[in-house]
Structure 1
Amino acid sequence: MLASLPVACSSPVTPPATTTAQSSATSSSDPAIQPVVTVRGTVREGAETGCLVLDAGERRYLLLDGDPRELPIGAEVVVRGRPAPGGVTTCQEGVPFHVVAVTPTP
């Protein structure tokens, strides 16, 4: 049997905050938390207009945030940056890679 108890609160009870997947900033595809890596390869045109891809052996990286003047098509370069595996882009190819620095190779 349940007894009715008087409620004597002067302020409303606030439910605990909930976390959703959208508000999570620790996703493994978040480039801010990925380590900076160095990759060497050849710059290629992507399948979509305006997209640049780095062919690095068996892997392809979609170059994001890089200066196109430092990434001419056909150039062999060393690129430092943060990969964002699982990231969605309009280019739809390669592992998204946020470029931090570009060094041309001799």
Structure 2
Amino acid sequence: MDTHASRVGRFAGQTGPLVGAFMIAVLAACGSGEGGSDESATPSTVTAPTEATTPPEATEEDPVTEETTPYLDPSLGDSSKPGSDSQTTISGTVASGVETGCLVLEHNGTLYGIYGSFDSSVVYAGATVTLHGKVEADMMTTCQQGTPFVVEDAESAD
């Protein structure tokens, strides 16, 4: 009679010596120092430095020039663009997101995920609204849809 137990026993009996030989070869290679390391098998001793080392100080011969100093022009950042810390206004029709309980709004070709504390009688799927708040592009969300927009104030456009 050929049962599952007898088949497993035959398989283990046939492969057992191969697995055992493989493990012995692996362990022997590890113990012999042939594992790719050129270091000897004896542990080395690490000693602490006797005096603290300090980085070399800058001298007059090695000044930092304006050419090597990074410069960031503050006029490059436009605070009126979404994603800045300034308040932004978006408007449109609120829609349900792909995740349950999530709301989105498309404004000027950008899809925004709607977050924050707002009146749910004003902001709901199907409502046409004007939202004031901030874009938080780095905000992690569970809705996983749209650029996060944190609502500070909401007005019905109906």
SS of the residue corresponding to residue 139 of structure 2 reads coil
Name the residue aligned to 1:14. none
- My pick for the range that moved more, 58-67 or 43-52, is 58-67
SS of the residue corresponding to residue 151 of structure 2 reads strand
Correspondence list, 1:12-27, <5 A: none
Query: Is 1:35 aligned to residue 86 of structure 2?
Result: yes
1:60 and 1:49 map into 2 onto residues whose CA distance is 17
Name whichever structure is richer in strand by fraction.
1
Name the residue aligned to 1:12. none
Name the residue aligned to 1:81. 133
SS of the residue corresponding to residue 145 of structure 2 reads coil
Name the residue aligned to 1:105. 157
Q: Is the 8 A contact 1:41 1:57 kept in 2?
A: no
Unaligned runs of 5+ in 1: 5-32
- AA aligned to 2:101 is G
- My pick for the range that moved more, 59-68 or 90-99, is 59-68
Name the residue aligned to 2:110. 59
Using CA pairs under 8 Å that are at least 6 residues apart, name the structure with larger relative contact order, 1 or 2. 1
2:143 to 86, 91, 106: 91
- AA aligned to 1:87 is M
Structure index of larger Rg: 2
2:95 to 44, 65, 73: 44
1:87 and 1:47 map into 2 onto residues whose CA distance is 18
SS of the residue corresponding to residue 69 of structure 1 reads coil
Runs of 4+ in 1 over 6 A off after TM superposition: none
Query: Is 1:68 aligned to residue 96 of structure 2?
Result: no
Q: Deviations over 1:24-70 (max 9, x none)?
A: xxxxxxxxx71111111110001001101112131111110133222
- AA aligned to 2:135 is P
Unaligned runs of 5+ in 2: 1-49, 52-83
- Tell me how many residue pairs correspond in the alignment: 76
SS of the residue corresponding to residue 121 of structure 2 reads helix
TM-score (norm. length: structure 1): 0.65
Name whichever structure is richer in helix by fraction.
2
